Amino acid sequence: MDKVGIRTKVNGPFDKALASVVAALKDEGFGVLTEIDLQETLKKKLGVDFRRYTILGACNPPLAHRALQAELEVGVMLPCNVIVYEGDDDAIHVTAIDPMQTIAAEGSPVLVEIAREVHDKLARVIGRVGETGAHV
């Protein structure tokens, strides 16, 4: 798969990594609008076992508002997804969407600048999570 995310891996319990991600997002002005527990959902809907895997839908309201003012269709890219999952390597993987690698970065110059701001904030989130866990 092409690189569409900003990533890190950490050792340590899944719940601690997930809490670190949520806290780091908050520090960068993001709220978590959605939290999807894929392990639970796949068990309930399909009766299958799956690794711990959570999708967070994160939104920075001022940046989202600016982006929507520049291009209404950018809403298809909102919120910004951040995933936290248990890897086959026993590490916890954390990946945030990279708006510079998505359609959001191909719009107007204003939209490109907003995508760059979001990228920088999400990169700091991922960097912080990598620092707080035992980086793999």
In the chain (136 residues long), the average pLDDT of successive 10-residue segments reads: 80 94 97 97 97 98 94 91 95 94 77 93 95 55
Q: Supply the pLDDT for residue 134.
A: 47
pLDDT value of position 108 = 85
pLDDT for the residue numbered 94? 97
Which domains occur in the chain, in start order? Answer: 5-135 (3.30.310.70)
- For residue range 63-96, what is the model confidence (pLDDT) as tens digits? 999 999 988 988 988 999 999 999 999 899 999 9
State residue 102's pLDDT score: 81
Instruction: Sheet with 80-86: list strands edge to edge.
Output: 31-37, 53-59, 80-86, 92-97, 5-11, 134-135
List, in order, residues 6 or more apart from 73 with CB less than 8 Å away.
Answer: none
Residue 115 pLDDT? 92
Question: Could you write out the DSSP letters of every residue in 13-62?
Answer: -HHHHHHHHHHHHHHTT-EEEEEEEHHHHHHHHH------EEEEEEE-HH
Cα(67)–Cα(88) distance, integer angstroms: 37
- Report pTM: 0.90
What is the reported pLDDT for 136? 41
